[in-house]
Every structure is written in C-alpha cells, then in structure tokens.
Amino acid sequence: MWKKVNKIADDIRLKIPYVPKAGIILGTGLSRMADEIQQSTALSYGGIEGFPLTSVAGHTGRLIFGELGNKKVMVMQGRVHSYEGISMQDMVLPIRVMHRLGIELLILTNASGGINPSLEIGDLMVVKDQINLMNSNPLIGKHDQRFGDRFPDMSQVFDRNIISKVQRIALKNHIPLKSGILAAVTGPTFETRAEYAYIRYLGADAVGMSIIPEAIAARQLNLPCCAVTIISDLGVPDKMTKVSHEEVQQASGKSAPYLTLLIKKLLEEW
C-alpha cells in the first residue's frame, strides 16, 4: 500500500503546481461547493492510475486543486463507500495520498440521518466523536509503520481545538450548528426503525455510511481532522418518513451554502 500511495502522490505532483495545505472531502449532495474554489485545476479519479473510483449518484469523482479561504486546498468531489464493494484500505487510500501530498488539515463532510430528537433536516452537526458499526476497520491487515502506530489512540479522533474554532465561527457568522456523535454503518440500505433505535441507544446522534474509516486513517497519521455532517433525513420515531437517495441529495444541497461558508471561514482563520 505504501508504494501505491507514493506512486499516486507522485503522479498528482506532476499535475499541480503547489503543495495543498488542507484536504476536503465533499459528501452526498455537496459537490457544488467546489464551484467556490478559485484558480482551480480538476483531475478525474479515472485519470489517476490506482485511485479508487466512485459509482454513487451525487459523487462527481474529481480532485479539485485551488484556493479556498485564502488557502491552497485539495478537494475530493465524492468518495468511495464500503457498499460499492470497496475494501476499507482503498476507502482510506485518498487520505494517505493527501497526507503524502502535504496537507496539514483534513475536513470531512457527509449526509447523515438524525436520530437525536433535537435534530432537524438541514441541520449542520460538527462531529465530536464517532461509533464504528461497519464491522471492519481500515487498519486491519499487514501493518506498515510508515502510516503510523499499529494501535493508534482514539480518545480524540476529531481535534478539539478545531471543533471549538468551528463553533466560534458558526456563532460569529450566524450559522446554525449542532454538535454530536456520529455512527457509521456499511449501507447501502437505510436503517430500519429498530436499527435507528439501537444506534440511538448506543449514544449516537446521527448515523451515516462514511467519514469514520477516513477519520481512523487520519488519526493513525496524526493528521488533524474535523468533520461536519448535514442531517438529510430523520430516524426519530414520530418524525420518520420514507426516504430516498435523491431526497438526501436535495436536503444536503439546500444546506450546502452554510457548510461552504463555515469551511471557508475555518480555512481563513486556521
């Protein structure tokens, strides 16, 4: 894996003129945030040998390089998921490539289902901790010390200082922002009523199908990381309705401007 990561990073370096300082992954319905990037250069995932390809609607499948919030950034328009038949190791390969390219901050986003009764569709939630219910871990397998410790500490997956900064920025710019714990399952099915109740009982406020493997890889690399999810549907008993992937995309798209502003301001102050 180390050789593969290095080769991909070397290939990308030949196509971009600078070292990105921050990496951003855009989740379902959030690809249009890339329109805010200035002086941008786009690379298709398919044009990068060895880079995992996404097949999910709403995930464009491009790397965008440019400036956002006065910082050089590398933005992924879409990610791969376990339910696409992708291994955990390939799911986190982009994180390792970003790190090799020099990023010093990782920002993760996605859409998730709210299971805390205080959450509503369209809410932004900064993730303060996570629960892995994906029945796997990207660090399983032969260990390579060059990626970090075999047994990384997970007591602070998401950087507390960055979370505090995100909360201050939201308050200052009148951006409604909640905070909570995110759980992740493999998907692709949405959760049953019993599963929503079970995940809530475990202590989660929202549940999605991504972010957590990427955050684990970042923690192993000792890469500062923060995550913000958009609540795109509800798993609360008296608020639960039939949900589709298209509706998730629409809900995410409506809240995307708030998330874009939040990330831009974070980069400006970081």
Query: For position 202, which CATH number holds?
Result: 3.40.50.1580
Could you give the number of structural domains in the chain? 1
pLDDT of residue 106: 98
pLDDT of residue 243: 65
pLDDT of residue 30: 76
Q: What angle do CA 239, 244, 249 make, to 5 degrees?
A: 100
Alpha carbon 261 to its chain centroid, in Å, reads 17
pLDDT of residue 244: 67
Contact 68, 38 (CB under 8 A): yes
Could you tell me the mean pLDDT of each successive run of 10 residues in the chain, 270 residues long? 93 90 87 82 91 73 92 92 90 97 96 94 96 96 96 96 97 95 94 95 97 98 97 84 68 80 93
The boundaries of the domain holding residue 189 are 2-269
pLDDT of residue 245: 63
Contact 79, 187 (CB under 8 A): no
Query: Which residues does 218 contact at the CB level (< 8 Å), separation at least 6?
Result: 95, 99, 106, 224, 225
Contact 58, 28 (CB under 8 A): yes
Q: What angle do CA 204, 209, 213 make, to 5 degrees?
A: 90
pLDDT of residue 204: 98
Q: What is the pTM of this model?
A: 0.94
pLDDT of residue 251: 64
pLDDT of residue 18: 87
The DSSP output letter for 134 is: S
Q: How far apart are CA 125 and CA 208, in angstroms?
A: 12
Angle between helices 93-101 and 212-220 (to 10 degrees): 40
Query: Which residues does 38 contact at the CB level (< 8 Å), separation at least 6?
Result: 66, 67, 68
Look-up of token digits 């019993």: 194
pLDDT of residue 58: 54
**Residue 131: burial class (beta carbons within 10 Å; 0-12, 13-18, 19+):** middle
